[in-house]
Amino acid sequence: MIKIRTKKGGTIIWDGDPLAAQMNIQATYEVPGANPALLLDNPNFNKNPNRCDIRLTGELTKPNSPDFEIFFPNTSSTVTSEINYKLNDPEVRQLQAISLLTQGIFINEVSVSIEV
């Protein structure tokens, strides 16, 4: 079971049409233990608890892309800095956050091609 906790202060505002409601919601997911070794290409790391914060904004029926932040509370500042460098690109950060939410792990960078 995945338990995502909403943070206090989030809002959904209706001003007329309920389908055009504006939301500003923040939530947190505690990842019990994810190993950043795959992300850093370094096998010398152990599993550490992480926290993934998610921010949803925009219309309720057409939200903006979610904004993700990943925190490493029990990791040295050097390793945290290296991980944050890898997660600087919003698309990479989103991919890793979704992997943490769905699988509880970091993943190697993957190439995705879309045929048109």
* Mean pLDDT of each 10-residue bin along the chain, 116 residues long: 88 89 94 76 73 94 93 85 90 91 80 46
Question: Among 6, 88, 77, 1, which residue's Cα sits nearest to residue 39?
Answer: 88
Cα three-residue angle 114-55-79, rounded to 5 degrees: 80
In whole angstroms, give the CA distance from residue 19 to residue 103: 32
pLDDT of residue 55: 96
Q: What is the pTM of this model?
A: 0.78
